[in-house]
Amino acid sequence: MKAFAYHFSFEFFSGLRNKTLLLMIYLLPLGFHAMMGLIMASINPFFLETMVPAMVVFALLSGMILGLPQPLVEAREAGIFRSYKINGVPAVSIIVIPAISAFIHAFFVSVIITVTGPLLFNAPQPENWPVYLMIFVLLACAVSGLGVLIGVVFIKLPGNRVLVSAHLPPVHDA
Amino acid sequence: MFWSQLIYLPSMMLSGMMVPTEILPEVMMRVARLLPATYAMDAFKGMAMGGNAGYDPVWAAVILFAGCILSFGMALYLFSWDSQNPTRRIRLLALLALIPYVLGAVLLPLGERIDLLNAVTGCL
Protein backbone atom coordinates (compact mmCIF):
# COMPACT_ATOMS: atom_id res chain seq x y z
CA MET A 1 0.00 0.00 0.00
CA LYS A 2 2.88 2.30 0.84
CA ALA A 3 4.51 1.57 -2.52
CA PHE A 4 1.18 2.22 -4.28
CA ALA A 5 0.82 5.58 -2.49
CA TYR A 6 4.41 6.54 -3.32
CA HIS A 7 3.96 5.58 -6.97
CA PHE A 8 0.70 7.51 -7.14
CA SER A 9 2.15 10.66 -5.57
CA PHE A 10 5.10 10.54 -7.97
CA GLU A 11 2.76 10.11 -10.95
CA PHE A 12 0.44 12.88 -9.79
CA PHE A 13 3.08 15.51 -9.07
CA SER A 14 5.14 14.71 -12.15
CA GLY A 15 1.97 15.13 -14.15
CA LEU A 16 1.74 18.70 -12.93
CA ARG A 17 5.07 19.35 -14.68
CA ASN A 18 3.98 17.66 -17.89
CA LYS A 19 3.06 20.35 -20.42
CA THR A 20 1.04 17.99 -22.60
CA LEU A 21 -1.00 16.82 -19.66
CA LEU A 22 -1.62 20.36 -18.47
CA LEU A 23 -2.72 21.31 -21.96
CA MET A 24 -5.08 18.35 -22.38
CA ILE A 25 -6.60 18.34 -18.92
CA TYR A 26 -6.62 22.00 -17.90
CA LEU A 27 -6.07 24.48 -20.71
CA LEU A 28 -8.10 22.81 -23.46
CA PRO A 29 -11.27 22.09 -21.46
CA LEU A 30 -11.32 25.41 -19.61
CA GLY A 31 -10.60 27.37 -22.77
CA PHE A 32 -13.30 25.46 -24.62
CA HIS A 33 -15.69 26.01 -21.73
CA ALA A 34 -15.14 29.77 -21.92
CA MET A 35 -15.49 29.81 -25.68
CA MET A 36 -18.64 27.69 -25.75
CA GLY A 37 -20.23 29.68 -22.97
CA LEU A 38 -19.69 32.88 -24.90
CA ILE A 39 -20.60 31.62 -28.38
CA MET A 40 -22.84 28.56 -28.26
CA ALA A 41 -25.19 29.87 -25.60
CA SER A 42 -26.39 32.57 -27.99
CA ILE A 43 -26.45 30.37 -31.11
CA ASN A 44 -28.19 27.29 -29.70
CA PRO A 45 -30.64 27.96 -26.84
CA PHE A 46 -30.74 24.25 -26.01
CA PHE A 47 -27.03 24.25 -25.27
CA LEU A 48 -27.31 26.24 -22.07
CA GLU A 49 -29.64 23.66 -20.49
CA THR A 50 -26.90 21.03 -20.49
CA MET A 51 -23.83 23.25 -20.73
CA VAL A 52 -22.34 22.31 -17.37
CA PRO A 53 -22.49 18.51 -17.84
CA ALA A 54 -21.47 18.86 -21.50
CA MET A 55 -18.31 20.73 -20.61
CA VAL A 56 -17.57 18.27 -17.80
CA VAL A 57 -17.88 15.43 -20.32
CA PHE A 58 -15.57 17.32 -22.67
CA ALA A 59 -13.00 17.75 -19.90
CA LEU A 60 -13.07 14.04 -19.13
CA LEU A 61 -12.76 13.05 -22.78
CA SER A 62 -9.85 15.36 -23.51
CA GLY A 63 -8.02 14.42 -20.34
CA MET A 64 -8.47 10.69 -20.54
CA ILE A 65 -9.10 9.65 -24.13
CA LEU A 66 -6.49 12.03 -25.52
CA GLY A 67 -4.17 12.35 -22.53
CA LEU A 68 -3.85 8.85 -21.10
CA PRO A 69 -2.67 6.61 -23.98
CA GLN A 70 0.46 8.41 -25.15
CA PRO A 71 2.38 8.36 -21.82
CA LEU A 72 1.67 4.65 -21.46
CA VAL A 73 2.95 3.90 -24.97
CA GLU A 74 6.05 6.04 -24.46
CA ALA A 75 6.81 4.56 -21.06
CA ARG A 76 6.62 1.03 -22.46
CA GLU A 77 8.76 1.93 -25.45
CA ALA A 78 11.35 3.57 -23.19
CA GLY A 79 11.67 0.37 -21.15
CA ILE A 80 10.26 1.86 -17.97
CA PHE A 81 7.85 -1.03 -17.54
CA ARG A 82 10.75 -3.49 -17.75
CA SER A 83 12.32 -1.70 -14.78
CA TYR A 84 9.02 -1.85 -12.95
CA LYS A 85 8.76 -5.58 -13.55
CA ILE A 86 12.29 -6.18 -12.32
CA ASN A 87 11.51 -4.26 -9.15
CA GLY A 88 8.22 -6.02 -8.51
CA VAL A 89 5.72 -3.30 -9.42
CA PRO A 90 2.41 -5.02 -10.21
CA ALA A 91 0.75 -4.48 -13.59
CA VAL A 92 -2.41 -3.28 -11.83
CA SER A 93 -0.52 -0.28 -10.44
CA ILE A 94 0.80 0.67 -13.88
CA ILE A 95 -2.72 0.63 -15.30
CA VAL A 96 -4.68 2.10 -12.41
CA ILE A 97 -2.37 4.84 -11.13
CA PRO A 98 -2.31 6.98 -14.32
CA ALA A 99 -6.11 6.68 -14.45
CA ILE A 100 -6.50 7.79 -10.82
CA SER A 101 -4.09 10.67 -11.35
CA ALA A 102 -5.95 11.83 -14.46
CA PHE A 103 -9.24 11.45 -12.57
CA ILE A 104 -8.09 13.83 -9.84
CA HIS A 105 -6.90 16.40 -12.36
CA ALA A 106 -10.20 16.10 -14.23
CA PHE A 107 -12.10 16.46 -10.96
CA PHE A 108 -10.46 19.83 -10.28
CA VAL A 109 -11.34 21.02 -13.78
CA SER A 110 -14.91 19.77 -13.43
CA VAL A 111 -15.35 21.65 -10.17
CA ILE A 112 -14.20 24.84 -11.90
CA ILE A 113 -16.61 24.23 -14.78
CA THR A 114 -19.53 23.42 -12.46
CA VAL A 115 -18.97 26.56 -10.41
CA THR A 116 -18.25 29.01 -13.23
CA GLY A 117 -20.96 27.79 -15.63
CA PRO A 118 -23.89 29.14 -13.59
CA LEU A 119 -21.93 32.18 -12.38
CA LEU A 120 -20.58 33.42 -15.71
CA PHE A 121 -23.04 32.11 -18.30
CA ASN A 122 -26.28 31.63 -16.30
CA ALA A 123 -26.27 27.92 -17.04
CA PRO A 124 -28.61 25.90 -14.81
CA GLN A 125 -27.03 24.04 -11.92
CA PRO A 126 -27.54 20.31 -11.43
CA GLU A 127 -30.70 19.53 -9.49
CA ASN A 128 -29.44 16.32 -7.91
CA TRP A 129 -25.86 16.75 -6.76
CA PRO A 130 -25.15 13.21 -5.45
CA VAL A 131 -26.37 11.69 -8.72
CA TYR A 132 -24.38 14.28 -10.68
CA LEU A 133 -21.25 13.23 -8.82
CA MET A 134 -22.05 9.55 -9.33
CA ILE A 135 -22.43 9.96 -13.10
CA PHE A 136 -19.20 11.96 -13.20
CA VAL A 137 -17.36 9.13 -11.45
CA LEU A 138 -18.92 6.49 -13.74
CA LEU A 139 -17.97 8.39 -16.89
CA ALA A 140 -14.47 9.07 -15.57
CA CYS A 141 -14.01 5.36 -14.91
CA ALA A 142 -15.43 4.37 -18.30
CA VAL A 143 -13.32 6.76 -20.39
CA SER A 144 -10.18 6.26 -18.33
CA GLY A 145 -10.60 2.53 -18.93
CA LEU A 146 -10.81 3.16 -22.67
CA GLY A 147 -7.80 5.50 -22.54
CA VAL A 148 -5.71 2.96 -20.66
CA LEU A 149 -6.84 0.18 -23.01
CA ILE A 150 -5.76 2.21 -26.06
CA GLY A 151 -2.39 2.87 -24.39
CA VAL A 152 -1.93 -0.84 -23.64
CA VAL A 153 -2.90 -2.11 -27.08
CA PHE A 154 -0.88 0.29 -29.20
CA ILE A 155 2.79 -0.03 -30.03
CA LYS A 156 5.09 2.64 -31.30
CA LEU A 157 6.95 2.17 -34.57
CA PRO A 158 10.36 3.73 -35.31
CA GLY A 159 9.92 7.26 -36.61
CA ASN A 160 7.37 8.19 -33.93
CA ARG A 161 4.50 6.36 -35.57
CA VAL A 162 1.95 4.34 -33.66
CA LEU A 163 0.26 1.16 -34.84
CA VAL A 164 -1.99 -1.43 -33.28
CA SER A 165 -0.93 -5.01 -33.88
CA ALA A 166 -3.65 -7.61 -33.88
CA HIS A 167 -1.23 -10.52 -34.00
CA LEU A 168 2.38 -11.02 -32.99
CA PRO A 169 5.14 -10.35 -33.92
CA PRO A 170 4.47 -6.59 -34.36
CA VAL A 171 4.87 -5.21 -37.86
CA HIS A 172 7.77 -2.82 -38.44
CA ASP A 173 8.33 -0.61 -41.44
CA ALA A 174 11.20 -1.62 -43.69
CA MET B 1 -3.51 8.85 -31.76
CA PHE B 2 -5.95 7.78 -34.42
CA TRP B 3 -8.06 5.53 -32.20
CA SER B 4 -8.28 8.16 -29.48
CA GLN B 5 -9.50 10.68 -32.04
CA LEU B 6 -11.96 8.11 -33.38
CA ILE B 7 -13.72 8.16 -30.02
CA TYR B 8 -13.11 11.83 -29.19
CA LEU B 9 -14.24 13.62 -32.35
CA PRO B 10 -17.56 11.77 -32.90
CA SER B 11 -18.30 12.25 -29.20
CA MET B 12 -18.06 15.97 -29.70
CA MET B 13 -20.64 16.01 -32.48
CA LEU B 14 -22.95 13.11 -31.78
CA SER B 15 -23.15 12.60 -28.02
CA GLY B 16 -25.40 15.54 -27.22
CA MET B 17 -22.68 17.84 -25.90
CA MET B 18 -23.04 20.51 -28.59
CA VAL B 19 -26.47 19.79 -30.02
CA PRO B 20 -29.29 17.55 -28.74
CA THR B 21 -29.12 13.98 -30.04
CA GLU B 22 -32.84 14.25 -30.80
CA ILE B 23 -32.10 16.32 -33.91
CA LEU B 24 -29.92 13.61 -35.46
CA PRO B 25 -31.21 11.13 -38.04
CA GLU B 26 -32.21 7.81 -36.55
CA VAL B 27 -29.14 6.03 -37.91
CA MET B 28 -26.82 8.62 -36.37
CA MET B 29 -28.67 8.35 -33.06
CA ARG B 30 -27.83 4.64 -33.08
CA VAL B 31 -24.22 5.39 -33.98
CA ALA B 32 -24.07 7.93 -31.16
CA ARG B 33 -25.04 5.17 -28.74
CA LEU B 34 -21.71 3.49 -29.46
CA LEU B 35 -19.97 6.31 -27.57
CA PRO B 36 -19.67 6.48 -23.78
CA ALA B 37 -20.17 10.26 -23.82
CA THR B 38 -23.72 9.77 -25.18
CA TYR B 39 -24.72 7.68 -22.18
CA ALA B 40 -23.12 10.18 -19.84
CA MET B 41 -25.10 13.04 -21.38
CA ASP B 42 -28.31 10.96 -21.23
CA ALA B 43 -27.66 10.12 -17.58
CA PHE B 44 -26.87 13.74 -16.72
CA LYS B 45 -30.01 14.95 -18.50
CA GLY B 46 -32.30 12.29 -17.11
CA MET B 47 -31.05 11.97 -13.55
CA ALA B 48 -29.13 15.11 -12.55
CA MET B 49 -30.46 18.02 -14.60
CA GLY B 50 -34.17 17.27 -14.39
CA GLY B 51 -34.62 16.56 -18.10
CA ASN B 52 -35.74 13.60 -20.17
CA ALA B 53 -33.34 11.07 -21.68
CA GLY B 54 -35.87 9.19 -23.80
CA TYR B 55 -35.34 5.96 -21.85
CA ASP B 56 -34.70 4.97 -18.26
CA PRO B 57 -31.36 6.75 -17.58
CA VAL B 58 -30.38 4.12 -15.02
CA TRP B 59 -29.48 1.94 -18.02
CA ALA B 60 -26.99 4.59 -19.12
CA ALA B 61 -25.29 4.35 -15.74
CA VAL B 62 -25.28 0.54 -15.94
CA ILE B 63 -23.71 0.64 -19.43
CA LEU B 64 -21.00 3.05 -18.28
CA PHE B 65 -20.20 0.83 -15.30
CA ALA B 66 -20.04 -2.28 -17.47
CA GLY B 67 -17.84 -0.44 -19.96
CA CYS B 68 -15.48 0.56 -17.17
CA ILE B 69 -15.16 -3.00 -15.86
CA LEU B 70 -14.59 -4.47 -19.32
CA SER B 71 -12.08 -1.77 -20.34
CA PHE B 72 -9.90 -2.16 -17.29
CA GLY B 73 -10.24 -5.94 -17.44
CA MET B 74 -9.12 -6.09 -21.05
CA ALA B 75 -6.31 -3.59 -20.37
CA LEU B 76 -5.02 -5.84 -17.61
CA TYR B 77 -5.39 -8.96 -19.77
CA LEU B 78 -3.64 -7.45 -22.80
CA PHE B 79 -0.96 -5.60 -20.83
CA SER B 80 2.62 -6.27 -21.89
CA TRP B 81 5.75 -5.20 -20.02
CA ASP B 82 7.87 -4.82 -23.11
CA SER B 83 7.12 -3.91 -26.72
CA GLN B 84 9.95 -6.15 -27.91
CA ASN B 85 8.42 -9.23 -26.33
CA PRO B 86 4.71 -8.49 -26.10
CA THR B 87 2.32 -11.01 -24.56
CA ARG B 88 1.02 -13.48 -27.12
CA ARG B 89 -2.60 -12.40 -26.99
CA ILE B 90 -4.80 -11.24 -29.83
CA ARG B 91 -5.12 -7.51 -29.36
CA LEU B 92 -8.38 -7.36 -31.30
CA LEU B 93 -9.89 -8.71 -28.08
CA ALA B 94 -9.73 -5.08 -26.93
CA LEU B 95 -12.89 -4.52 -28.98
CA LEU B 96 -14.76 -6.60 -26.39
CA ALA B 97 -14.67 -3.49 -24.20
CA LEU B 98 -17.22 -1.94 -26.58
CA ILE B 99 -19.84 -4.66 -25.97
CA PRO B 100 -21.92 -2.66 -23.44
CA TYR B 101 -22.11 0.30 -25.83
CA VAL B 102 -23.07 -1.91 -28.76
CA LEU B 103 -25.81 -3.54 -26.69
CA GLY B 104 -27.06 -0.10 -25.70
CA ALA B 105 -27.11 1.03 -29.31
CA VAL B 106 -29.14 -2.01 -30.34
CA LEU B 107 -31.50 -2.49 -27.41
CA LEU B 108 -32.26 0.92 -25.92
CA PRO B 109 -35.15 2.89 -27.47
CA LEU B 110 -34.44 6.13 -29.30
CA GLY B 111 -35.82 9.39 -28.00
CA GLU B 112 -38.40 11.40 -29.87
CA ARG B 113 -36.80 13.41 -32.68
CA ILE B 114 -37.14 17.19 -32.69
CA ASP B 115 -36.79 19.67 -35.50
CA LEU B 116 -34.12 22.05 -34.22
CA LEU B 117 -34.92 24.82 -36.68
CA ASN B 118 -38.58 24.96 -35.68
CA ALA B 119 -37.69 24.66 -32.02
CA VAL B 120 -35.17 27.52 -32.21
CA THR B 121 -37.43 29.80 -34.25
CA GLY B 122 -40.23 29.04 -31.82
CA CYS B 123 -38.05 30.23 -28.97
CA LEU B 124 -37.11 33.48 -30.70
What is the residue-wise DSSP string for B16-39?
SSSS-GGGS-HHHHHHHTTSHHHH
Q: Which of residues 115-144 of A touch B (CB under 8 A)?
A: 124, 126-129, 131-132, 134-135, 138-139, 141-144
CA of B120 vs chain A CAs: smallest distance (Å): 7
- The ipTM value here is 0.86
Q: What is the pLDDT of residue A75?
A: 87
CB A63 within 8 A of CB A102: yes
Per-residue pLDDT reduced to its tens digit, B59-112: 999 999 999 999 999 999 998 887 776 666 778 888 999 999 999 999 888 766
pTM for the predicted model, two decimal places: 0.85
Q: Which of the residues B79, B95, B99, B124 would you substitute to probe the A interface, choosing the one with the greatest number of A C-beta atoms within 10 Å?
A: B79
With a pLDDT cut of 90, the percent of chain A lying above it is 43
Q: What is the pLDDT of residue A32?
A: 93
CB atoms within 10 A of CB A78: 12
